[in-house]
Each structure stands twice: as structure tokens, then as C-alpha cells.
Structure 1
Amino acid sequence: MNGTRAFRVAATSARVITGVAVAVACAVGVVAAIHAPWPEISHDPAQVQVTPLPGDTVLVCNGDLRALGRDSSAPLDMRSAASPTLTEGGTSGRPSSTTLESPDLTDAGDVRVLTGAVEGRTAPLIAATESVTIAEDDLAGFAALACGEPRLESWLVGGSVGTGTEDIVILANAGKVPTTVTLSVYGTTRSARTVVVPAGTQLALPLASIAAGNEAPIVKVNASGAPVRAVLQSSLVRVLDPAGIDLQDAVAGAQKNVVFAGVQAFPVEGDEADMTVMRLLSPEADGEARIVVRATGSREVANEFTVPLSSATPAEVSLSGLEPGTYSVEVEADVPVVAAVRQQDGAGLDSDFAWVTPAPELDADVLVAVPRGPTAQLQLTNTADEDATVSLAPAEGGDGEEIIVPAGQSVSADVEPGTSYLLRPSATVHAAVTMTAPGALAVLPIQAGAGAEQSITVYP
């Protein structure tokens, strides 16, 4: 072999060896790449935290107490029986006021709509209540009701169509467009009725016209077009004696945990089974509710029991056996429920009754307008595991007080009728104003204020 050929063989061998080495290296690299973490390429979407501008706060009042049957030739016609006294307040002065029409009410007074206008980026806190006292042959007693926000959906948990009752469903549309309201009755007999409420108008209809045949009706109120304020006016006549009146606010919706503040039990002779009664409903499913009753100022359980619930069927249970006094009532259910408690202080002339609706959670500043009327107390309930401190001061200035609400307990504090207060809780509490005198009862759960708007994340 000459030198040139030997060189070619050597060169060829080198190329083969180099190629094999490169191939092996590539194979090893691929295997390593499979098991090695791959680089990630990501881009966070553009986003910004935005706090929406709050809207004006609007409260709709109820207006005159209505009377049915005063004209024997037109027993379903309604007449004004009494005009209420208004108590109002606001953190930026008194709210502005407009009125609604009441075309179905003879001699109608004003139905007020109160507005707290936004200033800059802040919505002022406003509050208002109405109260009325009457002593007539067909209506007697005391009633008070807070002016409230209209809703697209709400529940009227109370009322009766029995002998001696004249209960009225009142619907107010403070919007700029008509609204179609569907009233769905839950009870032994299901029924429904649709009512068109024109813009800027309040209308009413007897409960018996939609809930006949139901001993314990509950009415779901659905509005389409504009939200409505729904109120239930109740009155009772025993034999020939008027035995109380009430104005009941609608419940916002069903929930699994319901708290009542300021439920009262009164001394009674004879059967007390119907003196303090809870009505509740599971709209969607069968379930069970646990009821726990505690006296104000005590953590001990005064009464505890369970109630089986059948879907879409109202249930009533007596809170009997309670010593006279004030109580908190907690409902813990395994399905969402709506509920209310009816309390009364007697059985005939010079007696009164009141439906107590749930007291929602309060965890921010709220303005409380105490109606004019009998002795008033603020009831505060703390269902949490830690103590809460509530600051209470007159809205127009003056000395305030700090109220300690122990964990798992309720306390009460005197408040002045016809006065507005600023309430500031350090933790979540439930609250109501109770007003009590012989033949005069009212309980007003305190609703959360409009509060500051929560920030939201916007993705352009």
C-alpha cells in the first residue's frame, strides 16, 4: 500500500468514527432533553385593579296604612287609614326626596323615595323609618318599618288569610320603566299571579286574593323590568276587637344560616302555642333545620330542636316554653331556607303582634334610624367565636358608647326614638331595633348600608 492510499483509508476511518461519535452525542442529547425541564414561555395578561364608582343609594318607603272593607259596597277597595311619621338621617345631611303615585288608594298620602347622591367616589350612608299608631274599630296597634332598597327577587314570609285577618301585599316601583311582578305562593295550595306595576307607582292587593286556602302562606316576589319594594301589611280582629297591626319587610333570599335578633316572649295565661311561632320554607329540596334559642345576656341554650322540611312546603313551629324576655334565634339548615318569627303580647283588645325577619350580617359602618314610638332598644347578636365591639353614636353628634358583644351572646342597649345613630362594628354582628309598650310591638332588623364598592380585576 502506498502512502496516498494509506492516507485515504485513515481519513475515511476518521470520518466514520467522527460521524458515529456525533450520532451518539445527538442520541444522548435527545434522551437528556426528554427528561430535562423544558423552558417555559409565558406572558401575564395585562390587568388592573379598578374600584367601580358607587351608585346613588335609593330607599323606598311604604306610605300610608291601608284599610280594606270600609266601604260595604266595594269591600276590596282600599282607603288610607293613617299616615306614618318619618324618621330619616344621612352622613351627608338629609337625603333628597321624591314621591310615588298610589292610584288604587283613596285619600293617599305621600309614598316617599329617598336618595343619597354620590359625592366624588363615596356614597353617603342614609337611613329612614316610618311608624304609625292607630286606634280604630277595625285597626289598632303600632307598626314601624324601615325604608328599604327595591329588589328583583324577595320573599314575604308571613301573613294569614284566616278569619279576622286583612293582610295586604304592597308593591312599589320607583324605577323609570314599568315592571312585571310575579307573585308565587308556596303552601298547601300552590298559585301564582302576575301584576304590572307602572313606573313611579305603588299598587297593592289583598293576600287572600292570591293565597286563599293556605294557612301559612309564603310568597316569592319576582320582578322583571325594574326592581320593586315588597311589603306585607297585616292586621287582626278577634271577635269584634282589633288585636294588632304590623308592617313586614321582605326577605332578600334563602340561606342556610339565619339569625333573628330581638325576638320577645311575653307572659300569657292559658295556651301559649301561638304566641311565638316560626314559619320557614325550603324552596328547593327536602332537608332539616336546627333551631337554637338563647336569652339575651346568656350563652346558655334556652331551647333547641330540629324541624323536618319538605321541599316547597311551609312549616310552622311554636317557640313555646320560653320565660318572658328577649332572645336570639339561630337557624342552621342543611338546605337554604327563608324564615320569619311571629310574636304577640296578648290575645284581644289592647294587644299587638309583630313579624320578625332575619337580621343580616353587619361588618361595616351602618346608619340606623330609630322610629318614633314606644321604648326602643338596640339588640346586638354575636354568633362568632370571638368578642365584638360595637361603637354607637348619634349621627348628628353627641356622646357615643362602646358596646362589648361577647362571643355567642346577645346584648341590648337603650336608644332614643326619633334619632339616627351611626353603628360601627369591629367584627361581624347581627342587629335589630325593638320597640315595646302595652299594645305596641315592632322589630326592625338593621340592614347593611351601601358601603364602599369592592375593587375588581379588569383584563383589557
Structure 2
Amino acid sequence: MKPQTAQGSRPDSHQDTEPEKIPSAGSRYTTVSRWDAVRWFLATLLVVAVSGLVVAVGLTRPAAAQKPHYGEPVPVPPGQITLACPQVPPTVNPAAVDGSGNPLAPPKIAGSMTSTVLARTARVPEKAVYQPLGSRGRAPQSAAPTPEETNPDQTNSHQSGAKHLVTEDTEEVAPPPENPQNDLDLTPKSAMLYGSFSTPVSGFLTAQPWDGKVALAGADIEQSVSSGDYRGLASASCQPAQLESWLVGGSTEIGESSVLQLMNPSSNSVDAKVEVWGDTGKLDFPRGEKITVPARQLQAIPLESQVGGTQRLVVRVTSNGAGLASSLMTHSLLGLTAGGVSLVHTSALPNTTQVIPGVAMDGSLGAVRLLNPGADSARATIEVVNENGRFPLPGGKDLDLDPGAVLDFTLGGLQPGNYAVIVNATEPVAAGAVIYRQGSVSPTDSDKFVRDLAWLPALSTGGGVVMGPAATQRQLLVTNLNAENREYRIDGATHVVNAMTTVVVPLKDETPQLIEAPDLYVTQLVTTNLGDGDGIDALEPIPDLSVSSQIYVHLTS
């Protein structure tokens, strides 16, 4: 007889089995549980794989993995503006002799440094000072009236550098005597601040913001020498510092001199890198890797000591921090005959299209200088625009530009007239031009003629402040490369230039003027009579630094 079990109990053989609650191994419940486990495993594996892919892409290409988000523009308060005025070539060679070996008579020398801050409104600006290089400190303060007390008809003597300020009761107040070793405070004159030296004193113009904007400031420096080795006119529009500058011009052949000038207008030292290209390509420049320019100083480097024997030069200057104002001081001799002086100004950054305004031809020679700084060969076509329209330059189609080599292409095929030169290239190029003015027979060589020259930079569109050096003839060249006529303004007066033409505007007044030409190419040519021919140079407008674009800063980690 089998033993009895208690009610609700199970035999030992069935103690772990309960068919009515737990299905057998082949039941549907067991099958679903296995598929759930598989699905969870596959899903986990997929998530891990996708997460790893996202992390890998984010590490290797963070910019592609993140969409930039820009915040609202933040207004930046206007700051002071500082312009740097370079040195001009020396005035006389004491050893200069004529063809018979007799000492030459001392040359006639004229020059100036002129600074201004133009008014944006009816109120005359204030707080601007010109600090010569090596200044010994502040100039003595004169008993000048405040801007509110000054009569707008007060006068200024440019030649002497003295400022005669006229008060409301017409009593003249004598200023301190001119001293190029002291800082020069700019003082009110009509609707501007104004100051000058009667000699070309290199230095820095600093102007404080006014009426909620960066000051509309300008300065220039110029010098003319009538005879001797340094015969010619040299001038420069004083410029703000730049982080990258291209100087297209100059030579270090025998009889040629090119001095690189690096000016630091900031209050901290700046390190610069200098690269030089020549006839055969990029040149070894021993000092070029790191040149330190102290605060408020000028560093001058004769390039003939570094890259001598180079017929055609292009120089690139890059710097850190506040940047530098760069220029080349050039001087040329044709044997014992004066070959001209000029200051090479900064050209536009390399681009596939370059425009060089101010190419005024009078039958003398001239040339366009081109550099292809890239690693690939390029082809370039040169055109010109004058008052009659746009034309190809004879022989200037499909020019081969080897990587790194500097090319000079003659402008001798142009008829006398006023032009802008247009360069279109398949690769970015740097460009500039040189024009000449021939004078009388050389006093040292009857087979040669004295001459002067002007190096012209490629420019961007836009006007700015143009200065009026004393004892020079001035003309403004304005080029319109648009398909429609365009307006431009000189001190508020409106003028029109036709499509695809260049116009010439004589400027007779020495007063500094504002040129407003947002989409036109503008430069100013200055000439002076040296007695045996003309001296010539160019003065590009000083830009209005209150006209700037927005800059977005995107930070990633």
C-alpha cells in the first residue's frame, strides 16, 4: 500500500514540476524568453557600435561633428588708432662728384610730416599726438585755447611747422618752437586737428576715439631732393600695423638699395618673420625667421646685405600680436647718375585678381611685377583701364608664372595716359608696378638722363583720408570696374565715374580730404618740379578703421 501524502502535497518525483504553472521545455513561454535574450544582446551590441563610431568621428573630425552656433554680436568699444610713418631716403651723399671729379653743389631739399584727425560731426576732435622716433618726451604745452574756444578760421604755417591759433578776440597765441625731438600735439584747424613738421620726421600718430568711433586719422611723410645721388621725390601714407604685409618692388643689384623698415606702433615688442622672393624663386634670408621689433621702434634691414644681386624683389612680413607697419625704402643709381628714390608700400594680399591704380604713363618706361607664391604653375593676363575703357595690355595675355619666381612685364607699349592695371591669374599672385619720370641729361654722364620712379601697390576698393603735401602737384585717380556708373564723394561733394573707366581729379588744396568710394579703386599721385625734371611718387588713402566686418569666435575643446 502506497503511503498517503498530505493534501496539496506532491510526490517526491514531481516535487520540482508544476505543469499547470511552468510549461515544459518545448512550450511557447520558453521560446519567447530565448528570443528576448537574443534581441537584448543584439540591441546592446548595436548601441555600443554606434556610440563608438560617434566618438571616433568626433575625435578625428570635431568640426564636422559639431554644427557651429553663433552668439549675438557684441559691440566692441572703439580704441585709439596709431599710424606709423617710415623714414625717407638720406638727403645727400657728401662724396657726390660730377663727370670731372669735382664736388657737386648741395641739393635743394624740401620735406614735411603732416598729421590730421578729421571731424565726423560738427564737433572738432581732440586728443591726438605725433611722437617722433626717439622722442624725448612731451612737447611744452602752449597757451592754446580749448576746442570750444577756437575760431574755425585759425591758420597754420605748414612750412615752418608753427601753429598760430586765433582766439575769438583775434589775439594770436605763439606756440612753442618746432622741435622734432619732442611730441607734437595736434591742435584745431577749421574742422580738424592738425599738426606738422617742416622736415620729414619719422614716428607715430596716435589719436583717441571720438564721437563713439575710431578716429578718422591720417598722416603722411614726404621729401624731395633736387640733385645728387638721392635726387627724387619719396613719400608715404602712414599706415596702421598689419599681421601680414606684401611689399612688391625694389632691387639689390649693383647700384640698387632696398632697406626693409619694420615699425612697431604698439606698447609691446613684436616678433616678425620675413620671407623674400627673387628672380629665381624664394631666397634664403638668414635673419628672416625671427626679427624682434621693440615697442614704438623701427627696425631697418638693408636687403643687399642679405640677398644681394637680386634684380626683382618681393617681400612678405608676418608678425604676431599687434602686427607691424612695413615698407621698403629704395634708391637707384645708373652708374653715377641718379636713378630715383621711392618708398614701396604694402600691396593687397595675394589673390587671383589684382588691381593697381595710379599707373600714369608719360612715354617713359614702366613695368608690372608679379609673384606666384604657390607651389603650382599659373597663367596670368594683364589688362588696363583708362578714360576710354578697358583694353588688353599688348603682349600681356597668358603669361606663364613659375612657382616662386618674380616676373617683370613691361608697360612700354602703353600710350601716355592714366591707367589702372588689372591682373587676372589662375592662382593667387602678389602684384605691384613701377613708373618713371625722365629728367635732363646727367651731369655725370652725357649718355644718360636723370630719372625718378614711383612704386605703386595693388589695392583693395575703398577710399579714406588723402593728404596734401606742400610744394607738390596732386591728382586723384579713381577706377570703376563695375558694369554700371558709380558715385564717389570728396569731402561730401558727389562725383560720378563711368563704368569700366578711370578718371583723374586734380587736387589743388593742400587740406587733407576724405574720399568715400566703397567699391572703387583710388590712389593719389604726387609730383614736384626738381628743376631738371619731375619727381614722382604715390600716396594711397589711409583707410577709415571704423569700417570693419563682424568677427565670430567659435571655441571647441
**TM-score, L = length of structure 2:** 0.64
Check the 8 A contact 1:378/1:433 in 2, yes or no.
yes
Q: 1:287 to 1:457 in 2, by over 3 A?
A: closer
Tell me how large the CA RMSD over aligned residues is: 3.0
Which residue of the partner structure matches residue 246 of structure 1?
342
Check the 8 A contact 2:92/2:229 in 1, yes or no.
no
Check the 8 A contact 1:281/1:313 in 2, yes or no.
yes
Q: 1:453 to 1:156 in 2, by over 3 A?
A: closer
Q: What secondary structure sits across from 1:351 in the alignment?
A: strand
Q: Choose from 300, 304, 312 the match for 1:208.
A: 304
Which residue of the partner structure matches residue 135 of structure 1?
226
Which residue of the partner structure matches residue 369 of structure 1?
467
Q: 1:417 to 1:203 in 2, by over 3 A?
A: farther
Which residue of the partner structure matches residue 351 of structure 1?
451
Which residue of the partner structure matches residue 7 of structure 1?
none
Matches within 5 A, 1:311-390: 311-346=403-438, 348-362=448-462, 366-390=464-488
| Shift in Å, 1:203 | 2.1
Check the 8 A contact 1:63/1:84 in 2, yes or no.
no
Partners of 2:383 and 2:243 in 1: how far apart? 31
Check the 8 A contact 1:97/1:115 in 2, yes or no.
yes
Q: 1:439 to 1:56 in 2, by over 3 A?
A: same
Tell me the alpha carbon deviations over residues 346-366 of structure 1, each in whole angstroms, 9 at most, x when there is no partner.
27554211111112111xx62
| Shift in Å, 1:454 | 4.1
Q: 1:67 to 1:196 in 2, by over 3 A?
A: farther
Partners of 1:178 and 1:71 in 2: how far apart? 38
Moved more, 440-449 or 159-168: 440-449
Q: What secondary structure sits across from 1:209 in the alignment?
A: helix
Q: 1:209 to 1:417 in 2, by over 3 A?
A: farther
Q: Which amino acid aligns with 2:510?
A: G
Identity of aligned residues (%): 24
Q: What secondary structure sits across from 1:352 in the alignment?
A: strand
Q: Which amino acid aligns with 1:382?
A: N
Partners of 2:433 and 2:304 in 1: how far apart? 20
Moved more, 411-420 or 450-459: 450-459
Check the 8 A contact 2:372/2:406 in 1, yes or no.
yes
| Shift in Å, 1:152 | 2.1
Matches within 5 A, 1:143-162: 143-162=234-253
Which residue of the partner structure matches residue 54 of structure 1?
78
| Shift in Å, 1:61 | 0.6
Partners of 1:412 and 1:163 in 2: how far apart? 37
Tell me the alpha carbon deviations over residues 376-397 of structure 1, each in whole angstroms, 9 at most, x when there is no partner.
111100111121111112xxxx
Check the 8 A contact 1:259/1:359 in 2, yes or no.
yes
Partners of 1:341 and 1:296 in 2: how far apart? 19
Check the 8 A contact 1:48/1:459 in 2, yes or no.
no
Check the 8 A contact 1:122/1:452 in 2, yes or no.
no
Q: Which amino acid aligns with 1:191?
A: D
Partners of 1:90 and 1:315 in 2: how far apart? 40
| Shift in Å, 1:67 | 6.7
Partners of 2:202 and 2:70 in 1: how far apart? 49
Check the 8 A contact 1:54/1:452 in 2, yes or no.
no
Tell me the alpha carbon deviations over residues 331-350 of structure 1, each in whole angstroms, 9 at most, x when there is no partner.
11121111110111227554
**TM-score, L = length of structure 1:** 0.77
Q: Which amino acid aligns with 2:234?
A: A
Tell me, yes or no, if structure 1 residue 101 matches structure 2 residue 134. Answer: yes
Partners of 2:357 and 2:380 in 1: how far apart? 18
Partners of 2:398 and 2:274 in 1: how far apart? 30
Check the 8 A contact 1:294/1:327 in 2, yes or no.
yes
Partners of 2:368 and 2:70 in 1: how far apart? 52
| Shift in Å, 1:458 | 8.6
Partners of 2:427 and 2:481 in 1: how far apart? 19
Q: Choose from 241, 248, 259 the match for 2:355.
A: 259
Tell me, yes or no, if structure 1 residue 410 matches structure 2 residue 502. Answer: yes
Moved more, 213-222 or 352-361: 213-222
| Shift in Å, 1:263 | 0.1
Partners of 2:497 and 2:299 in 1: how far apart? 41
Tell me the alpha carbon deviations over residues 133-161 of structure 1, each in whole angstroms, 9 at most, x when there is no partner.
11342210111110001122212211011
Structure number with the bigger relative contact order (C-alpha 8 A, sep ≥ 6) is 1
Partners of 2:318 and 2:81 in 1: how far apart? 21
Tell me the alpha carbon deviations over residues 183-212 of structure 1, each in whole angstroms, 9 at most, x when there is no partner.
211122611223322222112121211222
Check the 8 A contact 1:143/1:245 in 2, yes or no.
yes
Check the 8 A contact 1:64/1:84 in 2, yes or no.
no
| Shift in Å, 1:301 | 4.7
Check the 8 A contact 1:373/1:435 in 2, yes or no.
no
| Shift in Å, 1:97 | 1.9
Which residue of the partner structure matches residue 173 of structure 1?
264
Partners of 1:130 and 1:59 in 2: how far apart? 12
Q: Which has the higher strand share?
A: 1
| Shift in Å, 1:82 | 7.0
Partners of 2:266 and 2:303 in 1: how far apart? 24
Structure 1: runs of 5 or more not aligned: 1-44, 73-80, 269-274, 394-399
Tell me the alpha carbon deviations over residues 418-458 of structure 1, each in whole angstroms, 9 at most, x when there is no partner.
32112223x51010001235321112232432024445679
Partners of 1:71 and 1:50 in 2: how far apart? 60
Which residue of the partner structure matches residue 277 of structure 1?
367
Tell me, yes or no, if structure 1 residue 229 matches structure 2 residue 325. Answer: yes
Partners of 1:57 and 1:279 in 2: how far apart? 32
Which residue of the partner structure matches residue 305 of structure 1?
397
Partners of 1:86 and 1:67 in 2: how far apart? 15
Q: Which amino acid aligns with 1:209?
A: S
Tell me the alpha carbon deviations over residues 199-245 of structure 1, each in whole angstroms, 9 at most, x when there is no partner.
22112121211222322121111223542211111111222121211
Q: What secondary structure sits across from 1:386 in the alignment?
A: coil
In terms of Rg, which structure is larger? Answer: 2
